Structures are given as C-alpha cells and as structure tokens.
C-alpha cells in the first residue's frame, strides 16, 4: 500500500496546464521570444485574440515562459487593459465601448453620453468608464473596440457598433519616409555615423540651446546625455511615449505628423550616448500610432543602411504610473509598473540593471531640428522673460483646442486669445490647470503668469508636460479637483500608504459639501512628504489650489 507521502509526491501542486490550451497558445505566439521581459507583449496577444485573459491561458503562458502562474497573474492584474476572467465568469461581450470621464471629456458631456449608452445597450455591449485616453482636444471621446471617436455622441457610437467599425483608423496626413528624406531628413544622423559631427558637438549644442526634457521634470537634456554616456557600457535608451498626464496630447500629435523626425532624434541620442538598444514604450491607447510607427520603423530599416542599434517597440497596458521612468522600466522588464526607490537613478541602474537614458518623445522629436537649424531656432523665441518654444496641449472650454507651439512663457490669456480663438461662446474664463491633473489649478485672475518651467512653483503649481485645461463659469474648480484626485486614486500603484490610502481618503473627504480643510491639508502634507514617487507627491496639488484660490466653493470660504 502507498504511504500518504508517496501519494502527495505524485500529485502536482497548483493548477495544471491544459495541454490543448497550451498547444493553441504556442501556435498563436509562434516562434515568439519567451524571455521574461516579453510577458506583457504576450498578454496583449491573448487579450487581442480572445477579448480577455483567462486562467487557462495564463497558466499556459507561464508554462511557455517557464515562470510561475502567480507571476503572470500578478502582472496581468496590475494593468487596466487586461480583462481577467475566471473559469466560472462570463467573458466580456464582443464589443466594449470605453468613454473617457476625465476633466475635459466631462466638460463636454461624458457623463450624459455614458448614461445614454448604458440606457441604450443594457449589457449587450459593455460600457466602461476610463481615465484620460490622450485626445482631450476632441472631447468627449469614446472608443469602440479600438476605434476612437472624437466629439462622440450616441449616434456615432451606435453606427460604429452596428457596422463593427472597431479597428483603429489610420492617419491620413503622416509625412512618409520619402518626403522626410527628400527634405534632408536623416542627413544629421548620417553625419554623426560618418563622424563629420562629433558626440561632443551634439552635446554642446544641446547645452547651448538650454534644451530641457519635455516629459515633465525639465531636466537639461545635454547634461543628461553626458551623464549617461559616462556610465559603464552596455547602456540602453528608453523613449517615454506613455503620455498619460490628463490633458497632454502633444506626443501623439507630433508622432502622427512626422514619425521620422522622431526616429532620427532617437537614433542621434542613442548614438551620442552609445546605447546598445532602443526601447520605445508607447501608451496602449495610441493604437493607430502603434501600427503606423511599426510600419515606419520597418521602412527606415529597409531604406537606411547604418549600423543603428536594435529598436524595440513595446506597448503599455493602461497604467498612468508607467509614465514615471522607473515604473516604465519595470514595465519594460515585464513586471508590474511600480516606481523604484532612488538612488540608484535610472541613469546609473536602469533597464536590465544597466545605465539607461530615458527621454520623452518630444524631447527627441526636436533634436534633428536643433542640430540642423542651430540652438537659435529655439533661443530666438520666448515671452515674458523666458526662452524657447513650448508645445502647449490646450483643451477645455476654448474655441480651438489642440497643440499650440508658442514661445515659452506665454500666458494663459495670450494662449486663449491668440492661439485658441477665445473662449467658447457663452463661457467666461474661470480657471485652468497649467500642467495637467498633477500641476495644480489657477484662477482666471492669475492670467498673466508666464507658463514655463520654474515660474509656477510660488503659486503651488508646475507646468509639467504643458497640458493646459481651461474651464469656465459653467464649471466648478472643486469638481475639477475631485476628478483629478479620483484619477490619482485609480492610478496609484499601491506600493506606498501615503499615496494609495491618501488618495482614497482625500476622495472621500472631498465629496463632502463642507471640506474639512485642516484635515485635508494635513493629509496633503503626508502625501507630499512621504510618497515614494511624483504621483503621490503631486496628487494633492489641485485640492490645495482649490483651498487657496477658490475658497468660495468649499466651506463658504472659511
Ligand atoms: C507620475 C508620473 C508620470 C509621468 N508620466 C510621463 C509621461 O507620460 N511621459 C513622459 O515623457 N514623462 C513622464 N513622466 C516623467 C518621467 O519620469 C521622466 O522624467 C521623463 O520621461 C524624462 O524625459 P525628459 O528628460 O526627456 O523629459 C512622469 C513622471 C511621473 C512622476
Ligand atoms: S506614490 Fe503612489 S504611485 Fe508612487 S510608488 Fe507610491 S503608491 Fe505608487
């Protein structure tokens, strides 16, 4: 007779792999790379194919990647874009309509659209509220499958659902490789590879132009390149194309227009810093951008024969925190996007524990122009004592929202009047976010502040990625702050208590008609002082702005 121990030894622990599912998944993924960092890419393939990620596929994927099912689950459950389905749960309906309910879309009737859609479909089409999808200038936005519909209404969504118009629509105005090349494109890159322009010259020019990173923190780009170049090889380059800050649309806009100017800029940076490989991390909502960029990268490889480093294009999976550079690197390694503790900084220990240059997409986009036309192209511009050009992403209650390239230091009033065609008819300017959800809120009375790096701190705000959201006398600043806090609560990675619990507590307190101001201020201080990363540190900004500049809206001004 067998002993108990022998019986247990024979029974394998945990859920067993379903061999049929394993075979189909293997077929689906083909001769894919099963290294650990590819986990999120493979989860995308499963999600795209079946409309969800079920337990059996997760176990099969773990088996193919030779990792534990728990590791797969832990990663898949972190990202909003994977629909995890248990064996006994029903799968999502064939079509999902996602409606953005962040600030700009809310101003333009997102709530009413959600109500109408829910009333109309009653479950046979899934209606999901989602945070900002990066098209705030076309609010309100709905996404049917992967087809984004700007200025959406019930009829437009119905039409897309009925005709199963669920694929992303291709760009129609993108500058092709041939057009770019004909106008002198890739000449600078060639000159660098031919050693006609030295690495030192490039860095010197970046420094002379006082060029600063455009992802939010404004770190001097030339200095960053020099620092990473000094680190021991091998080094990597990472392009931050996550563009998750509500209100920010500039990266997607420029990428759609001129992908090759960006590709050239990225490869110049990679060459100057002598990086072994480039990784582009693109926000998952930018589906048309993904298809187009994949194509244009292939065209580049076919037509330009320089010994450039390998370029990997990777998809995010719906987590705002992955815009933070260390979280992004974790995500690229196939893990949950949780920011790392610093030091070490990613410039010293980044992707795969190697020194890593992380730059925002737009930072790299301007590099070829800077080198071709010289620093003066940028330094000759500027307003109100500031220098350079800024791409302001403007959304909200203005006539012409969108990306407006204007002198650094332009005021909100000039932006509204001279670039955005004024406020919408019937709307009076009441307030604005000068730097997306995290950069705080200012009242219309402070309409003459130069909008640039370093000019807003004294007002408790910052410009970040220059996402300007304008609201009017039809809106309330407290509602805007509430939406921003709700966004941070949704997007907190959960790693540290001041942020994960702080955002939740703040949301609860902000719902009250009368705000408990001392308690909210106390909570804000803890979040600012003790959160691990910029998300938790900046999350209280809009709430503190309301207390400071819009006291009439909370607690009768006490
Ligand atoms: C919560 C959070 C979100 C961020 N999101 C983005 C983003 O979507 N895109 C971006 O380029 N930088 C983002 N950043 C800034 C990056 O961490 C990093 O500073 C930037 O990519 C560096 O590039 P740059 O020097 O070219 O600006 C974010 C930072 C934080 C704290
Ligand atoms: S501050 Fe928030 S997002 Fe950043 S590490 Fe802490 S919990 Fe995560």
Tens digits of residue pLDDT in 35-47: 999 999 999 999 9
Q: Is the pLDDT of residue 307 over 60?
A: yes
- The residue nearest atom 23 of ligand 1, judged by CA position, is 359
Taking all residues of the chain, what is their mean pLDDT, rounded to a whole number? 95
Tell me, in angstroms, the distance from the centre of ligand 1 to residue 324's CA: 5
Question: Whole-angstrom Cα distance, residue 243 to residue 360?
Answer: 9
8 Å CB contact between 323 and 245 = yes
Question: Whole-angstrom Cα distance, residue 552 to residue 337?
Answer: 39
Tell me, in angstroms, the distance from the centre of ligand 2 to residue 420's CA: 35
- Ligand 1 in contact with 246 (CB < 6 A)? no
8 Å CB contact between 241 and 255 = yes
Angle value at C-alpha 291, between 290 and 296, nearest 5 degrees: 95
What angle do the packed helices 477-491 and 541-549 form, to 10 degrees? 170
pLDDT at residue 558, rounded to an integer: 44
8 Å CB contact between 252 and 173 = no
- Ligand 1 in contact with 152 (CB < 6 A)? no
Closest C-alpha to 107, from 433, 361, 405 = 433
- Give the DSSP H/E element, type plus range, for residue 360: strand 356-360
- Ligand 1 in contact with 220 (CB < 6 A)? no
Question: Whole-angstrom Cα distance, residue 450 to residue 458?
Answer: 12
C-alpha distances out from residue 468 to 323, 387, 401, Å:
18, 19, 10
Q: Which atom of ligand 1 is nearest to the CA of 533?
A: 31
- Ligand 1 in contact with 326 (CB < 6 A)? no
Backbone φ and ψ for 240, nearest 5 degrees, come out as -90, 100
- Mean pLDDT for the stretch of residues 62-91: 95
Question: Whole-angstrom Cα distance, residue 281 to residue 242?
Answer: 6
- Give the DSSP H/E element, type plus range, for residue 387: none
pLDDT at residue 6, rounded to an integer: 55
Radius of gyration of the chain from its Cα atoms, rounded to whole angstroms? 24
Q: Which atom of ligand 1 is nearest to the CA of 361?
A: 11
DSSP summary character for residue 423: B
- Ligand closest to 215 (CA) is 1
ω into residue 140 within 30 of 0, thus cis? yes
pLDDT band for position 511 (50/70/90)? very high
CA dihedral (46, 51, 53, 57) in degrees, to 10, reads -50
Longest dimension (CA), the chain: 90
- Ligand closest to 534 (CA) is 1
List pLDDT tens digits, range 113-161: 999 999 999 878 999 999 999 999 999 999 999 999 999 999 999 999 9
- Mean pLDDT for the stretch of residues 471-488: 97
Closest C-alpha to 73, from 340, 319, 335 = 335
- Ligand 2 in contact with 496 (CB < 6 A)? yes
What length is written for the chain?
A: 558
- Ligand 1 in contact with 535 (CB < 6 A)? yes
Q: Which atom of ligand 2 is nearest to the CA of 339?
A: 5
User: Quick one: tokens of 323?
Assistant: 């815009």
Backbone φ and ψ for 54, nearest 5 degrees, come out as -95, 170
pLDDT at residue 123, rounded to an integer: 77
Question: Whole-angstrom Cα distance, residue 354 to residue 332?
Answer: 13
- Mean pLDDT for the stretch of residues 454-465: 97
Backbone φ and ψ for 238, nearest 5 degrees, come out as -125, 130
- How crowded is the C-beta side of 365, counted as CA atoms within 13 Å? 19
The dihedral of CA 109, 114, 115, 120: what is its sign? positive
DSSP summary character for residue 12: P
Question: Whole-angstrom Cα distance, residue 544 to residue 451?
Answer: 19
Q: Is the pLDDT of residue 365 over 60?
A: yes
Closest C-alpha to 70, from 91, 55, 89, 90 = 55
- Give the DSSP H/E element, type plus range, for residue 99: strand 96-100
Closest C-alpha to 330, from 258, 404, 279, 386 = 279
- Ligand 1 in contact with 325 (CB < 6 A)? yes
- The residue nearest atom 2 of ligand 1, judged by CA position, is 324
Q: Is the pLDDT of residue 182 over 60?
A: yes
Q: Is the pLDDT of residue 397 over 70?
A: yes
Backbone φ and ψ for 278, nearest 5 degrees, come out as -115, 135
- Give the DSSP H/E element, type plus range, for residue 221: helix 221-230
User: Quick one: tokens of 513?
Assistant: 């008609």
Closest C-alpha to 143, from 121, 160, 163 = 160
- Ligand closest to 435 (CA) is 1
- The residue nearest atom 8 of ligand 2, judged by CA position, is 493
- Ligand closest to 249 (CA) is 1
Q: Which atom of ligand 2 is nearest to the CA of 500?
A: 7
Tell me, in angstroms, the distance from the centre of ligand 2 to residue 380's CA: 39
Tell me, in angstroms, the distance from the centre of ligand 1 to residue 378's CA: 22
Percent of the chain whose pLDDT exceeds 90: 94
> Mean pLDDT lowest for which of 7-21, 199-213, 452-466?
7-21
- The residue nearest atom 6 of ligand 2, judged by CA position, is 496
List pLDDT tens digits, range 46-71: 999 999 999 999 999 999 999 999 99
- Ligand 2 in contact with 533 (CB < 6 A)? yes
8 Å CB contact between 428 and 470 = no
Residue with tokens 């000094």: 230
8 Å CB contact between 410 and 463 = no
Tell me, in angstroms, the distance from the centre of ligand 2 to residue 432's CA: 25
What is the value of pTM for the model shown? 0.96
* Cβ-Cβ contacts under 8 Å for 446 (sequence gap 6 or more): 459, 549
Question: Which of 323, 325, 336, 339 maximizes ligand 2 atoms within 8 Å of its Cβ, making it the mutation to test the pocket?
Answer: 339
Tell me, in angstroms, the distance from the centre of ligand 1 to residue 238's CA: 11
96-100 sheet: strands from edge to edge: 126-130, 96-100, 142-144, 147-149
Question: Which of 136, 214, 216 maximizes ligand 1 atoms within 8 Å of its Cβ, making it the mutation to test the pocket?
Answer: 216
The dihedral of CA 418, 424, 430, 431: what is its sign? negative
């Amino acid at each position: 007779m067998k002993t108990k121990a022998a019986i247990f030894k024979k029974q394998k622990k945990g859920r067993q792999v379903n061999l049929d599912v394993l075979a189909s998944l293997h077929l689906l993924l083909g001769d894919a790379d099963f290294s650990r960092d590819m986990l999120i890419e493979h989860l995308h393939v499963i999600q795209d194919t079946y409309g969800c990620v079920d337990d059996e596929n997760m176990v099969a994927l773990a088996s193919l990647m030779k990792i534990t099912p728990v590791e797969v689950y832990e990663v898949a459950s972190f990202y909003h874009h994977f629909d995890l389905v248990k064996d006994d749960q029903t799968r999502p309906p064939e079509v999902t309509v996602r409606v953005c309910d962040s600030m700009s879309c809310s101003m333009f009737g997102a709530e009413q659209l959600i109500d109408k859609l829910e009333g109309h479909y009653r479950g046979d089409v899934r209606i999901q509220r989602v945070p900002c999808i990066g098209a705030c200038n076309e609010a309100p936005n709905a996404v049917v499958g992967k087809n984004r519909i700007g200025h959406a209404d019930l009829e437009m969504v119905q039409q897309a659902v009925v005709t199963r118009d669920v694929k992303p629509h291709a760009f129609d105005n993108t500058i092709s490789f041939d057009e770019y090349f004909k106008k002198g494109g890739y000449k600078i890159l060639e000159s660098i590879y031919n050693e006609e322009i030295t690495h030192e010259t490039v860095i010197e020019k970046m420094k002379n132009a006082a060029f600063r990173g455009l992802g939010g923190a404004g770190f001097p780009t030339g200095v960053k390149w020099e620092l990473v170049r000094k680190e021991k090889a091998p080094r990597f380059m990472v392009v931050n194309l996550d563009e998750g800050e509500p209100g920010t649309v500039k990266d997607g806009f420029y990428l759609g227009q001129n992908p090759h100017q960006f590709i050239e800029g990225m490869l110049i940076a990679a060459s100057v810093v002598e990086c072994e490989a480039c990784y582009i991390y693109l926000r998952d909502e930018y589906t048309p951008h993904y298809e187009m960029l994949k194509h244009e990268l292939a065209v580049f490889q076919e037509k330009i024969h320089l010994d450039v480093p390998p370029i990997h294009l990777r998809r995010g999976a719906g987590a705002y925190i992955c815009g933070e550079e260390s979280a992004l690197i974790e995500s690229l390694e196939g893990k949950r996007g949780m920011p790392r503790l610093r030091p070490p900084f990613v410039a010293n220990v980044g992707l795969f524990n190697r020194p890593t240059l992380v730059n925002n997409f737009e930072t790299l986009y301007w590099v070829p122009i800077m080198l071709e036309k010289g620093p003066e192209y940028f330094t000759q511009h500027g307003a109100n004592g500031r220098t350079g050009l800024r791409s302001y992403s403007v959304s909200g209650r203005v006539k012409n929202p969108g990306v407006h390239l204007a002198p650094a230091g332009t005021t909100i009033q000039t932006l509204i009047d001279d670039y955005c065609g004024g406020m919408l008819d019937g709307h009076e300017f009441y307030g604005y976010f000068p730097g997306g959800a995290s950069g705080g809120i200012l009242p219309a009375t402070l309409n003459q502040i130069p909008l640039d790096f370093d000019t807003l701190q004294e007002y408790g705000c910052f410009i970040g990625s220059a996402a300007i959201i304008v609201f009017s006398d039809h809106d309330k600043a407290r509602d805007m702050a509430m939406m921003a806090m709700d966004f941070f609560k949704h997007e907190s990675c959960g790693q540290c208590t001041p942020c994960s619990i702080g955002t939740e507590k703040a949301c609860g307190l902000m719902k009250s008609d009368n705000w408990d101001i001392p308690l909210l201020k106390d909570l804000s201080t803890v979040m600012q002082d003790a959160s691990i990363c910029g998300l938790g540190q900046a999350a209280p900004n809009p709430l503190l702005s309301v207390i400071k500049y819009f006291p009439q809206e909370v607690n009768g001004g006490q």
